[in-house]
Amino acid sequence: MNFTNMMDYHHFPIYAVMVLFLGAFVTMVCGTRPSKNPNNPAGLRAWIALCATGVSLLLLVLLIKPVMLGGETIAYWMGSRGIAGGYAIGIALEVDALSLFFALLIATAVFVSAIYSIRYMVHDDCVPQYYVLYCLLAGGVLGLVLSGDIFNMFVMVEILTFAAVALTAFRTRVYGALEAAFKYLVVGCMGSSAILTGVILLYAQYHTLNLAQLASLIPGSMNNATKLAFAFLYIGFSTKAFIVPFHPLAADAHGAAPASISVLISGVLTKSGIYGIIRLTWFLFQTMELGAMQFMLVFIGSVSMFVCVTMALAQHDFKRLLAYHSISQIGYVLTAVGLSTALGVSAGLYHAMNHTLFKGLLFLAAGAVLHETGTTDLGKLGGLSKKMPHTTVLFLIGAFSISGVPPFNGFASKWLIYQAAYQRAVETNNIGFLAAAVVALVTSTLTLASFVKVTQSVFFGQLPPEYENVKEVPFGMRLAMGILAVLCVLTGIFPNTVMSVLTEPAARAVASVGEYIMAMGFKATVPTPEVSFAHVGVWTPVNWLLILCIALLALTVAALAGRYDQVSASQGENVETKYQLFYGGEQNVYSQVGGGDLFWGFKHNWRHYFDFMHDLHSGVVNDYALWAVVALALAIMYMMIAL
């Protein structure tokens, strides 16, 4: 192979994956002795990891023109391709617009987090090992979304799971780090085992592991074994997306892991799970035309949205609060994909991209606060805007973005999701899709309320005396946050460009199953449908007024649902006066509003709900493992009945 042939862009996908694994190998070969430079104890290893992630991102960016804009699907066979008895032999990578879209999200988050890590990890022990695990995690996730072989996807899931577990436990002196890693290990391995079981069942039925060939064989031949495989695979990828009922794992992992790894868990690992679910439902089993499958995804997405945003409101730890918000936003993506329309998929992918950007920014801001103060307890923080003005501004951009405030990117993608849900409700005359839009609106409102709480608790108010000497974080950390902040603004101001270049080609690829199958050389009987992305736009003032009215209506419904129980509150002689009707305010002790009591009225009105959620989330790994087993049992029953 000459140099010109080696630089053919068809080789770029495998180069992008292998450079990350090579980076892990080289950082280990460099040894484990710390650098003599106190400002960079990882020395050369940190720059090797940064270069590896940067090269990987560059290679993927170069594929935008042929794949996203040109509509090409790259089929890359590793080794010699063979056909025996009509079945594919060998491992393949297949890159269409969908897999490239997720690969770009992953590579961007990994590269920015690598920039942040150079200074953020200065005070940690075993920093060289950190970069080995970092590159392994990045390579595992990227290999998963670019793979055209379902068993190879499982192998990549194993790599990323164990790398993520090790990085969760990396800071062993952090309270709860080992416990969080153990929970992640137990439930994560249950998810990986479910994926392996599903792969085995499919191979036993169809004698191939190639995704394209499976997609050509499975539709029309769904027996009980195939339905069982679907259930196992769905639950396996759901554990990676952390959707309900696997959401407590995200909170534990995010809270314990370094902020640079929280970015990857939130912005990268969750996307691998969503990618797997899309490949299952739209490609492999082609079940999204079924109302039962649409209901399942929309219902689980809506539950994930609401449950996780309410749990975020009750948190007193900065990173755990962000963790629950992360899964709440993933609920938006799953709901949009479940609408089974081109606009819904495009809007869901748009929000997946935005989630990677604004949630990465927020976790890096939380890491900056932890880096300078040593705590993420909202009750102990306050007034940091005086000492960390740049971090405050960058955090506010992320907060506005996740809350759906225009002109930031969260508004654009959420508005498109509302439109897609409304259009689907009108087309099908199904009020359930409209209910999903209302849940999304309520969730967005509660998200804004939650970030009002965080902003007040961390950056405004009175500065505690122990933080008088706090200073702004180093430039490298601010640079990483600044990159994500700029992207949050640009992807919000130019939604049409984002959709035409990235999300609409990816959504069109989701609907073009036949082209995916034929690109690998197999016969496809699935016709390519006409795809329409008709919507009423984003930057229309009438739309803003409409969304405001619906949000106010949603808030009214929420207030009525948690109406104040005057009878029970007024009984007894020792009831606090602040709970009496028409009382003017809180007691003097609460005059300095803190993170724990900013929304005490809402939490009091919904106290029965929060008590129930508190009792349900025991924090015991046995209970979470039981949830996984119950979820698998329910998924099997549902698939057997619905498919």
Q: Can you tell me whether residue 220 is helix, strand or coil?
A: coil
Where is pLDDT greater, at 30 or 593?
30
How far apart, in whole angstroms, are the C-alpha atoms of residue 171 and residue 256?
A: 7
Q: In which element (H, E) is residue 130 found?
A: helix 127-146
Whether the CB-CB separation of 546 and 242 falls below 8 Å is answered with no
Whether the CB-CB separation of 517 and 509 falls below 8 Å is answered with no
Sorted by sequence, the CB contacts under 8 Å of residue 275 that are 6+ apart come out as 98, 99, 102, 144, 145
Which residue's entry shows tokens 């090797």? 48
Region of residue 42 (phi > 0: left; psi between -120 and 50: alpha; otherwise: beta): alpha
Q: How confident is the model at residue 83 (pLDDT cuts 50, 70, 90)?
A: low
Kindly list the domain boundaries of the chain, sorted by start residue.
9-287+524-529+621-643, 303-493+537-561
| Whether the predicted pLDDT of 241 surpasses 80 | yes
pLDDT at residue 620, rounded to an integer:
86
CA-atom Rg of the chain in angstroms: 24
Tokens of 177: 């780090």
Which residue's entry shows tokens 């009438």? 542
Whether the CB-CB separation of 210 and 82 falls below 8 Å is answered with no
Whether the CB-CB separation of 551 and 429 falls below 8 Å is answered with no
pLDDT at residue 316, rounded to an integer:
87
Q: Give backbone dihedrals phi and psi of 322, rounded to 5 degrees, phi first.
A: -65, -35
C-alpha angle 388-393-398 in degrees, rounded to nearest 5: 120
pLDDT at residue 368, rounded to an integer:
95
How far apart, in whole angstroms, are the C-alpha atoms of residue 232 and residue 192?
A: 10
| Whether the predicted pLDDT of 548 surpasses 70 | no
pLDDT at residue 39, rounded to an integer:
56
Q: In which element (H, E) is residue 398 found?
A: helix 389-402
Where is pLDDT greater, at 543 or 259?
259
Where is pLDDT greater, at 1 or 626?
626
> pLDDT tens for residues 470-512?
999 999 999 999 999 999 999 999 999 999 999 999 999 998 8
How far apart, in whole angstroms, are the C-alpha atoms of residue 193 and residue 590?
A: 50
Q: How confident is the model at residue 588 (pLDDT cuts 50, 70, 90)?
A: very low
Where is pLDDT greater, at 37 or 29?
29
Q: How confident is the model at residue 248 (pLDDT cuts 50, 70, 90)?
A: confident
| Whether the predicted pLDDT of 584 surpasses 60 | no
pLDDT at residue 462, rounded to an integer:
85
Where is pLDDT greater, at 368 or 584?
368
Taking all residues of the chain, what is their mean pLDDT, rounded to a whole number? 85
How far apart, in whole angstroms, are the C-alpha atoms of residue 160 and residue 106?
A: 13
Sorted by sequence, the CB contacts under 8 Å of residue 640 that are 6+ apart come out as 224, 227, 228
Where is pLDDT greater, at 598 or 577?
598
Q: How confident is the model at residue 583 (pLDDT cuts 50, 70, 90)?
A: very low
pLDDT at residue 611, rounded to an integer:
82
pLDDT at residue 539, rounded to an integer:
54
Q: Give backbone dihedrals phi and psi of 426, rounded to 5 degrees, phi first.
A: -70, -45
pLDDT at residue 88, rounded to an integer:
65
| Whether the predicted pLDDT of 615 surpasses 60 | yes
| Whether the predicted pLDDT of 519 surpasses 80 | yes
Could you give the C-alpha distances from 538 to 356, 408, 416, in angstroms and in order? 20, 11, 7
| Whether the predicted pLDDT of 361 surpasses 50 | yes
pLDDT at residue 349, rounded to an integer:
97
Mean pLDDT, to the nearest integer, of 539-556?
Answer: 57
3-state DSSP of 533-579: CCCCCCCCHHHHHHHHHHHHHHHHHHHHHCCCCHHHHHCCCCCCHHH
How far apart, in whole angstroms, are the C-alpha atoms of residue 598 and residue 454?
A: 10
Mean pLDDT, to the nearest integer, of 597-626?
Answer: 77
> pLDDT tens for residues 122-156?
877 778 789 999 999 999 999 999 999 999 999 99
End-to-end CA distance of the chain: 48
| Whether the predicted pLDDT of 570 surpasses 70 | no
pLDDT at residue 36, rounded to an integer:
55
pLDDT at residue 273, rounded to an integer:
95
pLDDT at residue 590, rounded to an integer:
35
Residues belonging to the chain: 643
How far apart, in whole angstroms, are the C-alpha atoms of residue 308 and residue 228?
A: 29
Where is pLDDT greater, at 545 or 297?
297
Mean pLDDT, to the nearest integer, of 70-75?
Answer: 91
How far apart, in whole angstroms, are the C-alpha atoms of residue 142 and residue 457?
A: 37
pLDDT at residue 638, rounded to an integer:
95
Mean pLDDT, to the nearest integer, of 448-460?
Answer: 88
- Least confident among 301-310, 418-427, 490-499, 515-524: 515-524
Q: How confident is the model at residue 567 (pLDDT cuts 50, 70, 90)?
A: very low
pLDDT at residue 405, rounded to an integer:
87
How far apart, in whole angstroms, are the C-alpha atoms of residue 191 and residue 381?
A: 37
- Least confident among 76-85, 94-103, 223-232, 407-416: 76-85
Which residue's entry shows tokens 């971090």? 391
Whether the CB-CB separation of 60 and 104 falls below 8 Å is answered with yes
| Whether the predicted pLDDT of 581 surpasses 50 | no
pLDDT at residue 146, rounded to an integer:
95
How far apart, in whole angstroms, are the C-alpha atoms of residue 266 and residue 530?
A: 34
pLDDT at residue 44, rounded to an integer:
82
| Whether the predicted pLDDT of 277 surpasses 90 | yes
Mean pLDDT, to the nearest integer, of 540-559?
Answer: 57
pLDDT at residue 635, rounded to an integer:
95
| Whether the predicted pLDDT of 536 surpasses 90 | no
Q: Considering the chain, what percentage of its residues have pLDDT values greater than 70?
A: 84
How far apart, in whole angstroms, are the C-alpha atoms of residue 477 and residue 484?
A: 11
How far apart, in whole angstroms, are the C-alpha atoms of residue 493 and residue 491?
A: 6
How far apart, in whole angstroms, are the C-alpha atoms of residue 191 and residue 269?
A: 13
Written as one string, the DSSP assignment of 414-451 is HHHHHHHHHHHHHHHT-HHHHHHHHHHHHHHHHHHHHH
Q: Give backbone dihedrals phi and psi of 88, rounded to 5 degrees, phi first.
A: -75, 140
Whether the CB-CB separation of 632 and 239 falls below 8 Å is answered with no
pLDDT at residue 636, rounded to an integer:
96
